[in-house]
Amino acid sequence: MSAPLETRELRPPPLEGGGRPATITLGFRQWGRRNAAGDNTVLVCPALTGDSNLGQWWPGLLGPDRALDPQRDHIISIDVPGGSHASSGPGHLDTDGQPWGERFPVLTVRDVVSLQRSLLHELGIDRLRLVVGGSLGGMQALEWAVDQADQVDAAVVIAAAARQSAWARAWNHIQRLALASSDNLALARQIAMLSYRHWDNLNERFAPQDTDRTVASWLDHHGERLKQRFNPISYRHLTELMDSHDVGRDRGGVAQALGQCPVPALILGIESDLLYPPCDQQALAEHLPNATLRWLDAPQGHDAFLIEQRRVNALLLSFRRHLRNGQAQSLELRA
Ligand SMILES: CC(=O)SCCNC(=O)CCNC(=O)[C@H](O)C(C)(C)COP(=O)(O)OP(=O)(O)OC[C@H]1O[C@@H](n2cnc3c(N)ncnc32)[C@H](O)[C@@H]1OP(=O)(O)O
Ligand SMILES: N[C@@H](CCO)C(=O)O
């Protein structure tokens, strides 16, 4: 399901890392209509290299009778600022007509959420029925729930953690080294792909005797594809954006920040996720007072939220039914 790309230029709030560009443009797409009560908006937050074009990367969740249903919901998705899509980023022109390049400020997840909030406010949206995201999108969804608990009715946090672990920062560090040492975005993506898949999945897919479709050619393919669609400075900035994620920062730590968040949340973990492993979602669910923890028993690893769309859709539908029924109806345990 396609939706036209829209853009809006904003005066950004002060950024966490200091600095305040005169303007930032946000690119976004909308599906469905706002209802008269203005209480049916669902914000879907993209992951690292994804964009606002939900119909392209999450088609199994968007459509009539699906978890994101434009007949019932007003759905909005916003390109991550600092990235390589329609929102301002290093590859875009600054007001002086020159590309931002290295001058583009490194944003934090909180900055992204506060920019999203400014955009929604400009559009007259002050309440979210639901905020949803996987991976970097899950970090944004969680930050929304913690920071704007009085404006968010529910959150779905998929394959994410309360804060970026040392393990996840280490994967980002070596990707930035690949970028710094040889300007090698393709190599950075290949490194990242290993954190997005479980070894069982790769071992099963790429048998040693298959000389045409090797794991090496699969990695090469993904590296080359990213080179075609992403700005290397944006990519580095977005890895730093992920590393900024910590809902406990300046809030008394993770336990306190989550403990004070009453928002009903579906915490969806992927059992084979090597990047944000099940212990990350367990910790989230332990601290969030109104969390429902569910598992996607999928073999692929972290990227399963993009691959097993039918099952992710079923889990979200079940959570949304559960919310509509005043949480009286029990949830299916597994998809
Ligand atoms: C939330 C967001 O917004 S995130 C944005 C989502 N999109 C991306 O991440 C873009 C990159 N794509 C991917 O990572 C994956 O394709 C996913 C996660 C979307 C789907 O995963 P899978 O179904 O396992 O697909 P897979 O990793 O095999 O990728 C398929 C591609 O690899 C190619 N491929 C598969 N095996 C091989 C091989 N051995 N050698 C060369 N190429 C290969 C396929 O031809 C296909 O190419 P195409 O996408 O250019 O048509
Ligand atoms: N593979 C996805 C998810 C990574 O977290 C992406 O490139 O955005």
H-assigned helices in 43-124: 54-57, 109-122
- How confident is residue 39, by pLDDT bands cut at 50, 70 and 90? very high
Query: Are 209 and 97 members of one domain?
Result: no
CA 17-121-7 angle, 5° bins? 80
Q: Are residue 228 and residue 87 in the same domain, yes or no?
A: no
- Quick check: CB of 214 below 6 Å from ligand 1? yes
One domain, residues 86 and 139: yes
Q: Is pLDDT of 213 > 90?
A: no
Host H or E run for residue 84:
none
DSSP string, 293-326: EEEE--SS-TTHHHH-HHHHHHHHHHHHHHHHTT
Which of 223, 242, 261 represents a domain boundary (last residue)?
242
Catalytic sites, residue numbers: 135, 273, 302
Average pLDDT over the chain, rounded to an integer: 95
The whole-number average pLDDT for the span 306-311 is 98
Last residue of a domain, one of 213, 242, 271: 242
What pLDDT was estimated at residue 207?
84
Pair 304, 257 in one domain: yes
Q: How far apart are CA 123 and CA 117, in angstroms?
A: 10
Looking at residue 316, what is its pLDDT?
A: 98
Q: What is the mean pLDDT of residues 192-207?
A: 96
Query: Which atom of ligand 1 is nearest to 300's Cα?
Result: 24
Q: Give pLDDT, residue 240.
A: 98
Residue 143 belongs to a domain with what CATH number? 3.40.50.1820
Pocket of ligand 2 contains residue 303 by CB under 6 Å: yes
Distance CA 80, CA 86 (A): 8
Q: How many CB atoms lie within 10 A of CB 64?
A: 9
Query: Token match 């443009």: residue?
Result: 25
Question: Which ligand has the shortest distance to the CA of 175?
Answer: 2
pLDDT for 296: 97
Q: Which two tokens stand for residue 276?
A: 């944000």
- The residue-averaged pLDDT of 306-327 equals 94
pLDDT of residue 328: 47
Name which residue sits closest to atom 23 of ligand 1, judged by CA. Answer: 307
d(CA 314, CA 161): 22
Tokens of 77: 């998705």
Of the candidate ranges 14-28, 80-94, 237-251, the one whose mean pLDDT is the lowest: 14-28
The model's pLDDT over 122-177, given as tens digits with 9 standing for 90+, comes to: 999 999 999 999 999 999 999 999 999 999 999 999 999 999 999 999 999 999 99
pLDDT computed for residue 18 by the predictor:
87
Domain boundary among 202, 225, 242: 242
With pLDDT > 70 as the criterion, what percentage of the chain qualifies? 97
- Confidence at residue 73, expressed as pLDDT on a 0 to 100 scale: 98
**136 CA closest ligand 2 atom index:** 5
Round to whole Å and give the CA distance between 96 and 91.
Answer: 14
Q: Looking at residue 183, what is its pLDDT?
A: 85
Interval 263-289 mean pLDDT: 98
Spatial contact of 156 and 129, defined as CB atoms under 8 Å apart: no
Structural domain for 78, as ranges: 6-164+251-334
Please report whether residue 1 resides in a domain.
Answer: no
Count Cβ atoms below 10 Å from residue 310 Cβ, excluding itself: 11
